[in-house]
Structure 1
């Protein structure tokens, strides 16, 4: 009997990761397969710039997963983020002439007004409810409270329209059905942050290859999201400016680079070898790395809104490949003066796997695991067999769209909500039209009945009968 599993694909600037797993009854996650494809030739700063090559990478991912799982894959969950992704605050106000009790309908009206906001060249991917201001008090749930003024505070996560469309096109070209699309930072936060950190206020920093994502939480709600176009590759390129190949620069970074080096540990007499003929002073190398690292940290701290800078009692949480650099915690502390800083090297749920890439707990697969854990629908298709005498037909064709309902692959949560609302609106409109027709029919029947029972109608009928009796004999 075919086994059930979930498949997730994370699109990163350095690699695209495909992962399959099963959720166990004890709440743990068992990883069944893990594959990776180099994405440096098709994704930059988290954004697709070569649709054809990205589609080919996705096809390779699915093919490798199928071979490992020995089963077809009918749909996948997708996690993404990119340079254009950021948050924008929006407030919707409503005043009342007389004291009014807040209802669900009023809240829905504020949400609809927020969802209808237009941002040039951008689209709302996910609207987040912050708080509601009822007169002068902030409330999470204002329903049932009487007020003269109601204000809805929202945080809209927006991105470039063509960015999202390119993503969807890549999966369509690869004949891969999207079960759902997630913003990676939101799912990553759920997987590595504690409830206490979210509640007391914290900053999650995901240090990637070409981007650094900053998420600010306070009172269990996301307050700010930004993607900085700087990452570990910038340090590599700086090292490569010493006249070497980037591949060699990456090796030097992994071997010698440190986010912070105490002054008493810097020795000008020490040189680092570039190749067999050339060396670089360790002090010059250290300065080069620290300058770029300081720029990244400065940009991260700049993204923390001033109103929350002194409220992050949960501290700073670092994750991603860049968080493995030695003395990274000390470097962040030196610039931000935040005492509480930790590195989230792994997700906060149990993962069962023997794959060394997962058991390394180096933070590089945290996002992929977070996307996998967020999936809740079976992604498995038919078993793949090479038995020539099997009577069971193999599912070698492109995956089919959802059998029932309106296709939702590649749609944002907001678009899905709007689609559901539109279908509900059409249903209500059809029911209203049917009810109106029934009311019109009954009204016509009652009007006819009233007409037939009226004095003048009866008098007219009697007059006609009398005329008929008089005229009838004469005609004969």
Structure 2
């Protein structure tokens, strides 16, 4: 039985493109109906698309897989956008009022429009995180109706390179897939997994992706800072692969034996050497974790630096929340506590959801939280109804009569036979006339011969 009420979402990551279809239940949970994925490391780097054709082919493949699982057609999808160039930029717009004036909605709209018109070199404003309005010495989330001589609008613009969104849209156009809406991936991820208390009291959400790590800082239910680092779980994998092995083998070793804080003495009971199931390359256990620990410390140090740059490091009462595949690395939370001097660190698992198959049980590890956020943010049904073909009036009321159908078929065959014979006769007549014309004497030659015979007859020559 086909499903006719669902929301479809696609996330384009540096290691894979994942499509998911879900349905929001009345209790706020999400029921997963279908999922599909395609490897993307050969055409997406650091979250940026650089091969449009391959990306479009993968998108088409994902939609086909999802539709096959659903037994329904997908009309549009919600898409998340991220990438290395994504970050926030502060901007202020001020207005001096001649007399004490009650601030109107028209004035607020004008201030917002001026902010959106801010020119940035090779950058586009993708979204604006609402901030406060400064009226006098007071910061207000809403300023309409307040009398003032001066107002200052503070904005947090989420910007990215122009090509980021342009290439994304071009890929979906090539794949002939309609985009319902493009959401900022870090924002919908935060909305899906952060609690209201965490966003209000202040926290830093750290999303450890494959090729990038995203840091989002919230305070007072407002996004205060967003930055994307060009470092991720793949950085660790590539370091391990330098020990003369394939990347897929290195990834398996990282997941099975990796430790962000390795204590050689406490791990003395562990194996001396390790190897992946499909590899003959053995690696000393302490060397493997020395490599993992060194890269993990680099990533965490950069994360802590970004939190400091946000200006809210000492205001995060709810601490740090981690998500993404890299958040499953052993002791990564402890390393964050050690380097950031922030005691509260929790790993965010997936939000409440149900699955229609045990095949989706791995979604509980929190690696698909952005997709949950996209589904939760979607509001339109993505089902594409089938278009019924109009009835053929020539068939009449007896379209299903077997005898009539047979008679119609015989009549069509007879007509085709007559048409063929007529065509063959016309072709034969054309060839005959062509031959006659070919053998017919030339008019000029025949006329010349006739005149010559009359002028130079045998009688006149005597």
> In structure 1, the residue corresponding to 2:385 is in which secondary structure?
strand
Q: Which runs of 5 or more structure 1 residues have no equivalent in the other structure?
A: 385-389, 394-476
Shift of 1:284: 2.4
Match of 1:335 in 2: 339
- For 1:70 and 1:29, the matched residues in 2 are separated by 20
Shift of 1:340: 0.7
Say which is worse superposed, 354-363 or 305-314, in terms of deviation. 354-363
> In structure 2, the residue corresponding to 1:3 is in which secondary structure?
coil
Verify the 8 A CA contact 1:269 1:281 in the aligned structure 2.
no
1:298 aligns with 2:297: no
What's the RMSD between the two structures over aligned residues?
2.1
Shift of 1:36: 0.8
> In structure 1, the residue corresponding to 2:182 is in which secondary structure?
strand
Residues 201, 264 of structure 1: CA spacing in aligned structure 2 closer, same or farther, 3 A cutoff?
Answer: same
Shift of 1:125: 0.4
- For 1:190 and 1:382, the matched residues in 2 are separated by 31
- For 1:227 and 1:88, the matched residues in 2 are separated by 13
> In structure 2, the residue corresponding to 1:361 is in which secondary structure?
helix
Q: Which runs of 5 or more structure 2 residues have no equivalent in the other structure?
A: 392-462
> In structure 1, the residue corresponding to 2:365 is in which secondary structure?
coil
Shift of 1:266: 4.5
| Deviation string, structure 1 residues 296-335 (Cα, Å, up to 9, x no partner) | 1111111113531111001100011111111111111111
- For 1:233 and 1:295, the matched residues in 2 are separated by 13
> In structure 2, the residue corresponding to 1:303 is in which secondary structure?
helix
> TM-score, structure 1 length as denominator?
0.77
Shift of 1:205: 0.6
> In structure 2, the residue corresponding to 1:149 is in which secondary structure?
strand
- For 1:307 and 1:281, the matched residues in 2 are separated by 42
Match of 2:120 in 1: 119
Verify the 8 A CA contact 1:59 1:174 in the aligned structure 2.
yes
> In structure 2, the residue corresponding to 1:71 is in which secondary structure?
coil
- For 1:32 and 1:302, the matched residues in 2 are separated by 40
| Deviation string, structure 1 residues 151-208 (Cα, Å, up to 9, x no partner) | 0000000011111111000000000000101111100000000000000000001111
Match of 1:310 in 2: 314
> In structure 1, the residue corresponding to 2:315 is in which secondary structure?
coil
> In structure 1, the residue corresponding to 2:364 is in which secondary structure?
coil
Shift of 1:274: 4.7
Shift of 1:27: 2.6
- For 1:354 and 1:269, the matched residues in 2 are separated by 36
Q: Which residue, out of 323, 326, 343, partners 1:322?
A: 326
Say which is worse superposed, 324-333 or 268-277, in terms of deviation. 268-277
Match of 1:170 in 2: 171
Trace 1:193-272 onto structure 2 (pairs within 5 A). Answer: 193-262=194-263, 264-267=265-268, 271-272=272-273
- For 2:280 and 2:41, the matched residues in 1 are separated by 30
> TM-score, structure 2 length as denominator?
0.80
Match of 2:187 in 1: 186
Residues 352, 2 of structure 1: CA spacing in aligned structure 2 closer, same or farther, 3 A cutoff?
Answer: closer
Q: Number of aligned pairs?
A: 387
Trace 1:80-95 onto structure 2 (pairs within 5 A). Answer: 80-95=81-96
